[in-house]
Structure 1
């Protein structure tokens, strides 16, 4: 998704673009992401990109000429705290967002209980809420819209896996799994966690690791149970009633060493946690489990822009689960880095060189 947004932005500016995808457009992690779009972030740089991306999704068809609207619905996001320090961190985030004109607010347990039927108000201290945050009812539409728009502007898309990259003279030679090679003047690496593997073939090490995520879905339920997406920050649990009637639930807590990671065990765990936090979930069953992977950085912030000493090579990875959410804005930033040949328009907190000498950037606290 990030790569296709970048291709769209570049193509619109007259850059000749070749997209190489190992499986197909919209596959991989893009195919299984649920479609959340929010502006509630602790880091101001993330907030700025998220605001731009949300505005883009509001007018996606008009801006891209896509045939299908992603249908951004403003159901709202609620972040719930059960610890005093978490509540204060949410309050600080709300204060920062309100200073930038966002209608975020703090809610008491009772106010959250009115919004979320069955909420265990005796187990929480309060939370934050932004009613403008929401969900894409058609999360597959953006990548298709960007791809179609890029192709109309002259981009070419090939299904091919890149196994190795090398610098030859003033070009980049891409070695494909088929045995063929492709030479190009500039490269954008937007391959999720596999970006680290490709850079390793150049002798470059980036702090990017794979972190699994498991999402459970119920069968469609007619009566609406939970309208906002609710994140229990201290419980590492998220739940949302989707447009198709299914209920999404995810236990995001770190797994202890030796923990039972079978699907059956994880299903029992997510159902138990859900019913404890929201009573109405006691009657919901979750027969479907989907597993994906976040490409995670130490500070949970993006890796965008050029790497020193590698002219013409630009990163677009380290999304930490925000690929779809931030794609319209990230694609613009990366495209500008390609065209400008530097990181002048890349937020400092997201530049690859922030990890020089082992120094991490400001940690983004609101990754789920």
Structure 2
């Protein structure tokens, strides 16, 4: 299997399976001297781990991270940072009847067609548990970004048909859905109770606001910043669409409305509006980057579903076990982590885009 790595100058390679012994990541390209402890990474993993509420899987995993290399006396050494999280609560027997059955909405069929062999225990490499490595790496990237004055605020914009109507950043960590609107969170709770009663699941939208990004990040052709963000976010298994700025709404707008005018404020060039979401021509423009990820409903539901076996036998399948009725809350930190990885990589790439910057660095 190739392409388990992401990034150019700041790279992450994730490894491990849902029901294997452990999962983790190797981060390469992190500069020496960054203050980093396991607790910095654990904070991010705690936002992703299962068992946080009745609306997440009951699988009991502490997801405790251990740093194996690349950190000495609380600072990064500039060498690869290897991290591991041991699996503690696998129930592989829950998946015994799925060894030769293709689950609707899952990667089973495609994986089997590609490799002719698959780990059917919880989806193996295709499981959402793979994102542990992404989140651990994203925690390091976010630590770098904070040193540069760049902050990310990520939250649930909607669950099913319930959308936020207000924005209070202090409320995000005070409800199980990471919603900045307490009233919407209450409505989402009732909505999910109905879904669970009907043995069904829900999807939703995650929004990320990124402040402090300097202008000039991203490339003008293939490695556009918005293209790289879209690729990173779309690589998360449950994501089916990504929007930047006004997103799909631009298809119904006029140029006179969609264009962001430029002005001067406090001696700096800025924009009067931000329909573009902080990126123009694939390059950051210095304003807030706004992106949204659309998450599909959890495909593992207990309702009878029609499918077939590997031997082409039609069957009715009911999926039991421990599954999230909604993936969105636990995916919030995954979206944030992938965005942080893209921005960190873009920052490092941008350092060599002008000769003057190189000469300044080397005092020439």
TM-score band by shorter chain is: under 0.3
Normalised TM-score (structure 1): 0.25
